[in-house]
């Protein structure tokens, strides 16, 4: 079908059919315009609806993707939280164990401190007792030690002299310093001291069981064991030194308490 527009009459013609005659234009003009507007509005609404549907579909896909990522993130955070909770619980257990160990160590430390303080007090008392030590009648005090010399004119073998000291609750003198040696030699020309060498032994030993420490105070060339039986020691006043002699010889002696 072809359409034509008559400029004079303002009519549209097509294949001899007048779509809009001059007589009816005035009656149907407004209705035609309304129809056109309605069709345009309907087309616009359909377009907007279609656009809305597309946007909703797009947004739904985006929301689904975001929801999946959000779910994964929540899962990771939950795992991290649980791991931190486990570590926290382990740290609490370790802290509790360390606290118990600390208490045990503190208790042990206090016991050691108490023991140390007691030992210090004992040492202090021993020093006081040593300083305040008084000698029995007939004994002589020198450097906080008590000594007794054998009676004038008395002499015994080394074993006899030691037995006499032991009966007095003491023993033959042990000389550790030159001052003590000078004190001991003051009464007799020759004096037994508590140093000897027992048979089958090559070391000199004091009467308290300790071995001679260092070179001692020997005379020149002594000890020489000249007759093979010089196993006991005497102190010579003239030489202010020691000499090894046979234990069966008889000399004065000095006891030390």
Question: Can you spell out the DSSP letters for 171-207?
Answer: EE----SHHHHHHHTTS-SEEEEEEE--TT--S-EET
DSSP code at position 202: -
Q: What is the largest CA-CA distance in the chain?
A: 185
pLDDT for the residue 17: 39
pLDDT for the residue 21: 46
pLDDT for the residue 195: 96
Contact 147, 174 (CB under 8 A): no
Contact 183, 244 (CB under 8 A): no
- For residue 112, give Cα distances in angstroms to 67, 109, 160: 66, 5, 47
pLDDT for the residue 150: 97
pLDDT for the residue 52: 77
pLDDT for the residue 54: 75
Radius of gyration, CA atoms only, the chain:
63
pLDDT for the residue 73: 84
| Residue carrying structure tokens 């010579």 | 236
pLDDT for the residue 4: 45
Residues 35-50 have pLDDT tens digits of 666 777 777 777 788 7
- For residue 183, give Cα distances in angstroms to 140, 142, 152, 174: 11, 8, 17, 12
Architecture of domain 140-256: Roll (3.10)
CA–chain centroid gap for 153, Å, is: 68
Ranges under pLDDT 70 in the chain: 1-37, 53, 56-63, 125, 127-133, 199-200
| Extents of the domains making up the chain | 4-56, 140-256
Q: Please state the pTM of the whole predicted model.
A: 0.50
pLDDT for the residue 44: 79
């Amino acid at each position: 079908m072809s359409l034509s527009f008559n400029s004079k009459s303002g009519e549209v013609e097509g294949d001899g059919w007048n779509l809009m005659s001059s007589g009816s234009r005035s009656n149907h003009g407004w209705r035609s315009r309304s129809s056109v507007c309605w069709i345009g509005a309907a087309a616009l609404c359909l377009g907007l609806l279609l656009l809305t549907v597309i946007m909703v579909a797009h947004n739904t896909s985006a929301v689904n993707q975001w929801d999946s990522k959000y779910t994964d993130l929540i899962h990771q955070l939950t795992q991290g939280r649980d791991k931190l909770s486990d570590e926290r619980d382990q740290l609490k257990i370790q802290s509790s164990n360390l606290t118990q160990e600390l208490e045990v160590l503190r208790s042990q430390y206090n016991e050691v401190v108490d023991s140390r303080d007691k030992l210090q007090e004992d040492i202090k008392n021993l020093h006081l007792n040593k300083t305040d030590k008084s000698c029995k009648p007939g004994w002589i005090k020198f450097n906080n030690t008590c000594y007794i010399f054998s009676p004038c004119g008395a002499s015994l073998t080394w074993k006899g002299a030691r037995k006499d000291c032991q009966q007095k609750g003491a023993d033959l003198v042990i000389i550790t310093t030159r001052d003590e040696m000078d004190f001991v030699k003051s009464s007799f020309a020759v004096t037994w001291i508590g140093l000897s060498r027992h048979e089958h032994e090559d070391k000199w030993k004091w009467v308290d069981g300790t071995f001679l420490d260092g070179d001692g105070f020997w005379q020149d060339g002594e000890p020489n064991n000249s007759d093979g039986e010089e196993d006991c020691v005497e102190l010579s006043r003239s030489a202010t030194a020691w000499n090894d002699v046979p234990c069966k010889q008889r000399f004065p002696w000095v006891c030390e308490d």
